[in-house]
Structure 1
Amino acid sequence: MLTWPPETSSRAFGLLWDLSLDGLFRQSDGNTNLWCPSLREVSATFHNLGAHSPTLRPLGPTQHTGSEASLSHSEQQDALQEVALDSSLNYICKFLTLCALAQPGAYTDQNLLDLIELLCRAGLDTRLRLLPKTDLQQLLLQLLENIREWPEKLRQLCCALSRASDHHHNLLALVQLFLDVSPRSRQLRGQLSLLVMARLLNQQERLSLWQEKAQLSSLCQLLSLMRPSSLRRYLGPETVLPGQEQQPKASAQLDHKVCYLCHSLLTLAGVVVSCQDLTPDQWGELQLLCMQLDRHINTHIRESPQAMHQTTLKDLAAQTYIRWQELLAHCQPQAQYFSLWEGV
């Protein structure tokens, strides 16, 4: 229905919406009977709207045809298609949110995990770039609330979402799809950010990522690996051959990649800390984080008018340091820290 011409799909969706609401309001015994689309139907709809495939994985480059003479007409058609796509994607999020609210038990926990992953992949799909972010975020919040075995499913969901892309920019954007407005979304943001950082730095198997109250200690270890020089060695082998000096242009490109990766990692680190319910016994770990940030990142970034990406990273590091210092000021340390300083 959503792939029909806009004027037709709009009226059809309006009818479906009205019928669904009418059916809900007419339920006198509280036993709702609302049609909820299956995961396969949602996936097929995204595919029909232009996603790479029903599983949202690339099929290959899109073939374009037409001459320069028909360019203006083609641009007009593209504009109309974008308007139609925006409306269709809005319909999807709106109706799925209605389903999630009216019939929270319509989907099993596994269905909910698969649907959340599908929606997140759709949010990263370049051909669905008009996916309404606010509507999608509200839908994701409700789907998280509908998961019945939440503690057990959190790890499975984080692992699936961390594999949704291989690029740090996309993974950061995926984390930001989940708003920091509910306990579950907050927990997912923090745990997923830590897992993504560990994956990008190849530390998944070396850290205790899933132990309770171990997030800050794991983050301390990851911060020590985020030094630009360390990231440069990590990214460098693809650019520089052994025994050869780096060309100025290649060196500048590598420096830009390093700062770009470090910026994403540092943003994720900020998410991890902001999602913690800090207690006085974590004061020492937070202070160590501030020291690690200053030691491994702040002091290793040189600002330059010719390299704004370095200045941008330096600003983010400074802002992050200030936020963490403010948290320290509001998180009273345990008496052992005062005793330690009194004995010095």
Structure 2
Amino acid sequence: MEAFHSLGARSPALGPEGPCQSSERVLENDLSRSWSQQQDSPPETALDSSLNYICKFLALCAVAQPAVYTDRELLNLIELLCRAGLDAGLRLLPKTDLQQLLLLLLENIREWPGKLQQLCRTLSKVSDHHHNLLALVQFFLDVTSRSRQLRSQLCLVVIAQMLDQQETLPLWQEKAQLSSLSQLLSLMRPSSLRQYLGSETLPPCQEHQPKASAELDHKACYLCHSLLTLAGVVVSCQDITPDQWGELQLLCMQLDRHISTHIRESPQAMHRTRLKDLAAQTYIRWQDLLAHCQPQAQYFSPWKD
């Protein structure tokens, strides 16, 4: 936190209710003094011009002394970096250095995969908006085994959280991820999401007003687009084995039954077209995985000897 403040972090609430409140290394009066000094600093020293340097510096520390940091410190740092990376003022900043640093921090965690569940729970609470949580997943590149595990598990947790199903499914059983996703996919129908969002955001008297109805339809399709993108990440991170062929086939059927066939395109609603395109692309990718995975005997055609 001291590094963030000295290099231009201008908000004392960078990690509200976050990891650094429990740190014993930084005294509260030191942070207050640092913040008061930052109030007078020029705009050039703002965080958006310093985050890449912070990431480079921390990456050097992680490579040079990987054993110095405890798992708790690594998890706290990952959470803090993800919070900073989601800042609206940093949306146009290249994330390459941040992504490389996160890969290093994951590899330095000693009790892996024991800390995976804790990390997923923590990161899924960083934001309550599906757009931000999707962006957070994309901070972790699909290039290492640990990153793939985190991406897959985090996506599944976020989908269940968005659909209020986190307590009803075996989300932490690795072999049950596709079956859990299949149950969640059946709840991602745009009309169901529209009804769910309407009950949360609109009073009954406004549900049938044209403007309110159009906005609700856009929000439902937007949420479905994010959820379907996350579902695609879950599947792409799996090493599909012959015994999972039937589960992936069921996912394809669920996608077509609950999403693709329920999207009515309209020239006045391009968000539906974008969602239908994503559903079609996802279906094609999953069918391609099916074609390259040899199914078990019970899935062969019945007329084949």
- TM-score of the alignment, normalized to the shorter chain, above 0.5: yes
Question: In the aligned structure 2, how far is the partner of 1:87 from the partner of 1:254?
Answer: 37
Cα pair 2:14 2:84 within 8 Å, conserved: no
Shift of 1:130: 5.5
What TM-score comes out, normalization by structure 1 length?
A: 0.77
Residue in structure 2 matched with residue 94 of structure 1 by the alignment: 56
Shift of 1:342: 3.3
- Matching residue's letter, 2:117: R
Distance 1:53 1:297, change over 3 A: same
Distance 1:45 1:298, change over 3 A: farther
Question: In the aligned structure 2, how far is the partner of 1:145 from the partner of 1:233?
Answer: 42
Distance 1:89 1:205, change over 3 A: same
1:41 and 2:2 equivalent?
yes
Shift of 1:85: 4.3
Residue in structure 1 matched with residue 250 of structure 2 by the alignment: 288
1:256 and 2:218 equivalent?
yes
SS in 1 for 2:99: helix
Residue in structure 1 matched with residue 10 of structure 2 by the alignment: 50
Cα pair 2:266 2:272 within 8 Å, conserved: yes
Cα pair 1:137 1:178 within 8 Å, conserved: yes
Shift of 1:238: 3.7
Correspondence for 1:314 among 269, 276, 288: 276
- Matching residue's letter, 2:212: A
Q: Deviations over 1:108-147 (max 9, x none)?
A: 0110000000000001122444554010000000000000
1:237 and 2:202 equivalent?
no
Higher radius of gyration, 1 or 2 = 1
Question: In the aligned structure 2, how far is the partner of 1:176 from the partner of 1:228?
Answer: 24
| Residue correspondences, number | 281
Shift of 1:285: 0.1
Residue in structure 2 matched with residue 333 of structure 1 by the alignment: 295
Shift of 1:87: 3.8
- Matching residue's letter, 1:213: K
Could you tell which deviates more after superposition, 242-251 or 80-89?
A: 80-89
Question: In the aligned structure 1, how far is the partner of 2:115 from the partner of 2:278?
Answer: 33
Distance 1:280 1:287, change over 3 A: same
Residue in structure 1 matched with residue 116 of structure 2 by the alignment: 154
Q: Deviations over 1:16-56 (max 9, x none)?
A: xxxxxxxxxxxxxxxxxxxxxxxx4245457x522451425
Cα pair 1:50 1:127 within 8 Å, conserved: no
CA RMSD of aligned residues (A): 2.1
Correspondence for 2:164 among 190, 202, 221: 202
Distance 1:281 1:135, change over 3 A: same
Gaps of 5+ in 2: 19-41
Question: In the aligned structure 2, how far is the partner of 1:57 from the partner of 1:216?
Answer: 33
What TM-score comes out, normalization by structure 2 length?
A: 0.87
SS in 1 for 2:103: helix
Residue correspondence of structure 1 range 30-179 to structure 2 within 5 A: 40-42=1-3, 44-45=5-6, 48-51=8-11, 53-56=13-16, 81=43, 85-129=47-91, 131-179=93-141
Distance 1:281 1:85, change over 3 A: same
Q: Deviations over 1:293-326 (max 9, x none)?
A: 0000000001111111000000000000000000
Question: In the aligned structure 2, how far is the partner of 1:259 from the partner of 1:52?
Answer: 35
Q: Deviations over 1:251-275 (max 9, x none)?
A: 0000000000000000000000000
SS in 1 for 2:194: helix
Aligned identity (percent) is 77
Distance 1:45 1:232, change over 3 A: farther
